[in-house]
Amino acid sequence: MTVDLGPFLPAVPDAVLERVRGARRVLAVGHENPDADTLGATLGIVAIVEALGGTALPVCTDPVPPLYDFMPGIERFRTDPDVTADYDLLVISDCGSLDRVGAVGVRHAELFARLPRVVLDHHASNGSAAMADWIDPAAAATCEMVMLLAGRLGVGFDGPSGKDLATVLMAGIVMDTATFAHPNATPRTLAVSAALVEAGAPLSDISRRLYRSKPAAQLRLFGRVLDRLESTDDGRILWSTLLDADLEATGTRPAHSEGIIDLLAQADDAEVTILFKEAPDSTTRVSVRTKPGGMDATVLTGAFGGGGHARAAGATVDRPVAEARVLVLAEARRLAADIPAPKAR
């Protein structure tokens, strides 16, 4: 590999190296409602452990959406650990808080609590501080961190397995940077991505699959949400709502809502964009996007127990969608009032 990642490798904590290097039976877990970053990072951990002579099982509490079928090894995911396995390490990837692993963490609480743990995450709101918890908000994606971990451990990218590893890690970076359009893409992100492309990751194909290829039913779903678009009188706050009835009417699943919030966030004048998603359990999932220099999205979502990044964050509000919308919009208006309005273009 001609791309030199050497200057970036010291960022990997020694405690993380020691635990991953010494593990022989790893339980690798991503977050509920999985996206490409948590899936790619989890599969990356599996590949690293197996390259070092161990075994690993990738687990996600929710089934993997069909959107990610192109990722090599995606069929290996299970919704629960093997209860007969003698795991010696738990690796949790891309979870802004530990409860983001979802119901699988509740079902196997004793196992999760008993195992030595490594947390790999890039969410600024993550407060984990155990010895082997590596939280790096400067990383554009957790997959970026896993690539550096592979480099520190000497895991190569030769042959088909190396290309597969490069592909899943690139998928996570492409998703969390919106194909390098978000301001979270740093020189390190680009260097890591260049190394992955050199290792065989099909960047153009990954970008097309994640951002430029949607079934007609998903486009109809987007249309219903766009038709419900609302904003404050000054246009600084813009929002829409995704209802269960929309999924039923279009024959789609919750996973098909991926990307709607980023489409809404393209509105020129909106400084804060919010998508409210109705959930069957009478809770509401809230996704927030903000413009650089404006409101911190984690401050808004943090008021409701959520977190994420300054420009992209989320929360689950324990209220039906109509009530949650009132509460969240009131807080958004309050926060926006403290931020000077942008100068007219």
The secondary structure of 271-293 as a DSSP string is SEEEEEEE-TTS-EEEEEEE-TT
The torsion defined by the Cα of 163, 169, 171 and 177, in degrees rounded to 10, comes to -140
Kindly list the domain boundaries of the chain, sorted by start residue.
Answer: 6-211, 216-337
**CA separation, residue 264 to residues 141, 233, 238, 275, 326 (Å):** 22, 17, 8, 8, 19
Whether the CB-CB separation of 268 and 304 falls below 8 Å is answered with no
Q: Does domain 216-337 have CATH number 1.10.3470.10?
A: no
Quick check: pTM over 0.85?
A: yes
| Range 4-8 average pLDDT | 96
Residue 241: enclosing H or E segment and its boundaries?
Answer: strand 237-242
Q: Do domains 6-211 and 216-337 have the same CATH topology?
A: no
Average pLDDT along the chain = 95
Whether the CB-CB separation of 200 and 157 falls below 8 Å is answered with yes
The neighbour count for residue 238, using CB atoms within 10 Å, is 20
Q: Rounded distance, CA 162 to CA 165, Å?
A: 5
What 8-state DSSP symbol labels residue 344? Answer: P
344 has pLDDT over 60:
no
List pLDDT tens digits, range 79-125. 999 999 999 999 999 998 899 999 999 999 999 999 999 999 999 88
List pLDDT tens digits, range 16-41. 999 999 999 999 999 999 999 999 99
CATH topology of domain 6-211: inorganic pyrophosphatase (n-terminal core) (3.90.1640)
List pLDDT tens digits, range 300-322. 999 999 998 889 999 999 999 99
CA angle 188, 70, 43 (to 5 degrees): 55
